[in-house]
Amino acid sequence: MRILAIISGDYGRRHVENIRAHGPVSWEVAVWQAPAVLPPVMDYPEDYVPDTLPGADLLLNFGEHRGIPELIPDVARVTGAQAVIAGIDSEAWLPRGLARQLRGWLADKGVACVTPKPLCALTEAAYMMKRGEWIAYDNPLIAEFARHFGRSDLRIAVDEATRQIAAVEVVRDSVCGCARFVAEGLVGLSADEAEEKAGLLHHHYPCLAAMGIDSDYGDTLMHISGNLLKNVVGDQVKPYKQTEYIRPGKLSE
């Protein structure tokens, strides 16, 4: 699969480094550095897109400017891309209204597009944009990417005798590499502390999703991202956790 990542800063560079380091060797990952300065209103977005770009099957939008998504339809035209993943880790970079427009523009051109919010809320068949609301999609290129990167999927092995985590396999990493970082930090921990520690490791990576309250969730996207990962850990260590029961004592007379 040929992938073109659109970046504008460190956020995108970190994602690309992780994809290149841990994605399938058959993937070809190229990068386009989007313009650093874009006008508030672009009458002709095509003027800001080069006439030639590496051919691509899938586009990944990692831009950190709200003008960059407006360039994506023309980038798809120039590259021949048939699918786009434009995650929303910050509404300052891709507001929900613009995400809806982007999906419509690309659909008119026969190009599939998903806009998971946050980016790590993407699976092989659906993505999330609101709490508990998963949107189904059917595109083999996006699904192929999501087999390896998206909503974190870990397989945790726990020693039954010690209740310590013996090993963690990363089945699907987050695009930025946070899940792999958390997996490495969980080995050797007690099942009792694993879920809480996973949340701390997620923040320490650090997750770069927005820290302002998002109205679709009533929470920060960083917190939503952390909870998605903590839930994966919590579900797997739950059978090994030690539950303490407190029996009330007698009241004094």
> Please, what are the domains in the chain?
2-146 (3.40.50), 153-239 (3.30.390)
Q: How many CA atoms lie within 13 A of 218 on its CB side?
A: 2
Q: Under the phi-then-psi rule, with left for phi > 0, alpha for psi from -120 to 50, and beta for the rest, what region is 62?
A: alpha
pLDDT (tens digit per residue) in 170-228? 999 999 999 999 999 999 999 999 999 999 999 999 999 999 999 999 999 999 999 99
The per-residue b/e assignment along 150-167, b for 16 or more CB within 10 angstroms, e otherwise, is bbbebebebeeeebbbee
Asked if pLDDT for residue 234 goes beyond 90, the answer is yes
What's the pLDDT band for 39 if we cut at 50, 70, 90?
A: confident
Q: pTM score, two decimals?
A: 0.92
Is the pLDDT confidence value at 244 over 90? no
165 is written with which tokens? 């985590």
Instruction: Indicate the angle between helix axes 191-204 and 178-186, nearest 10 degrees.
Output: 140
> CA 47: distance to chain centroid?
30
First to last CA, the chain: 76
